[in-house]
Amino acid sequence: MTVSEHARALRAEIEKHNYQYYVLDAPLLSDAEYDRLFRELQALEAEHPQLVSSDSPTQRVGAAPLPEFVAVAHATPMLSLNNAFADAEVAAFDRRVHEGLALDEGVDEADYSAEPKFDGLAVSLTYENGILVRGATRGDGSTGEDVTVNLRTLRSIPLRLQGSGWPTLLEVRGEVLLWRSDFEKLNSRQREQGEKEFVNPRNAAAGSLRQLDPRVTATRPLRFFAYGIGGAAGAGLPATHSALLDRLGEWGFPVAAERRRVSGLGGLLGYYAEIGQRRASLPYAIDGVVYKVDDLAAQERLGFVSRAPRFAIAHKFPAEEAVTELLDISIQVGRTGALTPVARLLPVFVGGVTVTNATLHNEDEIRRKDLRIGDRVIVRRAGDVIPEVVRALSGQRPATAREFHMPTSCPVCASHIVRNADEAVARCSGGLYCPAQRKQALLHFASRRAMDIEGLGDKLVEQLVDGAVVRTPADLYRLGLSALASLERMAEKSAGNLLAAIEQSKQTTLERFIYALGIRNVGVATARDLARHFGSLDRLLAADAGQLLQVPDVGPIVAQSICQFCSEPHNLEVIEQLRAAGVVWREGEALLPAGGTLAGKLLVLTGSLPTLTRDVAKAIIEAAGGKVSSAVSKKTDFVVAGSEAGSKLDKAQLLGVTVIDEERLLALVNTPPPAP
């Protein structure tokens, strides 16, 4: 077998297992076996780059970030459906179909395809000769956004069609959505990371698909269901919509197993009642059902009215709400210190489950909804998953109802609560001390760009924290062999290796140590700038906001975060414990020139300069005290533009940023040009 044939065989094998897992939900391989096949294909393509093809499973992992989405005009508009909320409206739809098709009402019954109405994001997929070439969002129906690279990350979307008989040009339409279980896991991860939770699966799917960085989309468990086509050329298609969905399934697309062909008004309403009863047990959220005249030729005859088809209608489910009492509002502290108010409710049955708690997101949300403890409130299961307090019944407010106030100290560790002016989220300032943040703080402290403690991963940190073996990063340097070896799955040799890695991490750099502290808004680059500017940790800890603002790229928000962190005694105590444990670094004077001609200035390089390479220009700027950024913003002082300057130059001109050339740059730094 040639290398090319081997690659083709691997691709076919992997896509077969993708189909079994993501479409049929019937995996044939273990995760480890699948990963082995995938790594083998990755290695083969890395060794032979000419073998990489657009339909390879390796192309699903996410490409480089996009500058923006490109507009895509739909050849056939992606129209919305008219809605029906009552049986009488469905009866009127059925009557209009009879009239439009000249059926004898009372004698002939129209045949329909009935399907669940997915609560997701509509997209179109274009295939040429069976290969996915473009994917776009619905947008306004006429024009959408090109999200091809993001859609490629969905393993339920075939990159190459299966079977045979497909048209040479085919546009498939369907819905991108999240399953309930995946949505709950995603929000759990958001909470752990201190990020904002998604309101419902539809918003989560839309936000995930419209990421400019496809690598982010690749981490989200999105799924796709096909529900029709927008056009086809080069082959015949079935005569009915239900047969078309069967054919799409044969070509490798997931289609709803709950679809059915029914006849007449009785069939429509019967299907609606059945799906309504099954709604809570479905793996995905739906907000109704869709009825379509099954015969495709009949659809053509019925045509469209305004921006909706005459041959289809959405029969929506009523909102699932209930009234209960807001007993109390408690505070949850996330792994990054974010404080989230949680409504404690008198148990109420809504949307198929008993609800006792609901997130209130933040203090501003509570004020906006005018919620008070003791209120009678309306609770809704938003998107069938997250319980949401919609509003208070202020007309029924008891005299004993009281306002909620965010605590001023952390309910877990008693550290100060801080909230920046531009943020809705309040946070605990005891990052190195707070028990709620211990696991996240330890993982960050040990990460590769921080103290680089090899072997200290999630599972081990969980054991160390849950067993009360480690409370702060300083406790890592007090660990003994016997304590580690007694942990689950930790042999004596592994324990010894970890202790050696911990000991080795004592010799570090100031910038690594600053980053390891986990100060909010202080990343790797900012930690480096702080280390260079102050030269010692004590000078940094003693700095006030004004002194911090003199550091390149440190603005008011970052300065405030640093001041808040350094004002918390718990954090300073842990730092002293780390020093006492032997963590050391070289200190000295400030490394950035304080009086350089570009001190405190932010510059961006774009295009090709006449005599300077990009690296040389950057070195000249930094030697003069300046800072080089990769992106143009309002904070940029100068854009140095050469030939073939692109979008950065356009943005500089739009924002009114001063644009200079190489000659002006050299004049600013008083540096002669390099010898020819």
Average pLDDT across the chain, whole number:
86
321-396 is classed CATH 3.40.50.170 = no
Report, at the CATH architecture level, how domain 3-60 is classified: Orthogonal Bundle (1.10)
User: Residue 579 pLDDT more than 90?
Assistant: yes
462-484 pLDDT, tens digit each: 888 888 889 899 999 999 888 78
382-396 pLDDT, tens digit each: 544 568 898 899 889
Dmax over Cα atoms in the chain, in whole Å? 95
527-544 pLDDT, tens digit each: 988 988 898 999 999 998
Q: Mapped to the 3 state alphabet, what secondary structure does 484-542 carry?
A: HHCCCCCCHHHHHHHHHHHHHHCECCHHHHHHHCCCCCCCHHHHHHHHHHHCCHHHHHH
106 versus 478: the higher-pLDDT residue is 478
203-241 pLDDT, tens digit each: 788 888 888 788 888 888 999 999 999 999 988 899 999
pLDDT for 592 equals 45
Residue environment code for 396-432, b if the CB has 16+ CB neighbours within 10 A, otherwise e: eeeeebeebeeeeebebbebbbbebeeeebbbbbbbb
User: Residue 192 pLDDT more than 80?
Assistant: no
> Which CATH class name applies to 83-316?
alpha beta
List the binding residues for NAD(+).
31-35, 80-81, 115, 138, 175, 292, 316
- Residues linked to residue 112 through DSSP beta bridges, in sequence order: 262, 293
Phi, psi of 79 (to 5 degrees): -80, 155
User: Residue 127 pLDDT more than 90?
Assistant: yes
439-454 pLDDT, tens digit each: 888 999 999 889 999 8
Angle CA 570–576–582, to nearest 5: 140
Q: What share of the chain in percent tops pLDDT 70?
A: 92
List the binding residues for Zn(2+).
410, 413, 434
Give the start-to-end residue ranges of the domains of the chain: 3-60, 83-316, 321-396, 408-592, 602-669
pLDDT for 206 equals 84
The pLDDT of 425-435, averaged and rounded, is: 87
> Which CATH class name applies to 408-592?
mainly alpha
- Confirm whether 408-592 and 602-669 share one CATH topology: no
6 versus 245: the higher-pLDDT residue is 245
| Helix intervals (H) in 48-124 | 87-101
User: Residue 516 pLDDT more than 90?
Assistant: yes
pLDDT for 31 equals 61
625 versus 153: the higher-pLDDT residue is 153
35-71 pLDDT, tens digit each: 678 778 878 887 888 878 777 777 665 445 456 778 8
Q: How many CB atoms lie within 10 A of CB 558?
A: 22
Choosing from 16, 117, 493, 634, the catalytic residue is 117
Q: From the CA atom positions of the chain, what is the Rg in Å?
A: 30
Strands 121-128 and 131-137, by their bridges, are antiparallel
Lowest mean pLDDT segment, chosen from 141-145, 396-400, 410-414: 141-145
| pTM of the full structure | 0.49
Lowest mean pLDDT segment, chosen from 156-160, 210-214, 288-292, 539-543: 210-214
The pLDDT of 403-419, averaged and rounded, is: 91
Known active-site residue 627:
no
pLDDT for 410 equals 92
591 versus 646: the higher-pLDDT residue is 646
User: Residue 604 pLDDT more than 80?
Assistant: yes
Q: Which two tokens stand for residue 365?
A: 């949300």
pLDDT for 103 equals 86
**Closest listed residue to residue 320, CA positions, set 391, 259, 378, 403:** 378
User: Residue 581 pLDDT more than 80?
Assistant: yes
pLDDT for 234 equals 83
CATH code of domain 602-669: 3.40.50.10190
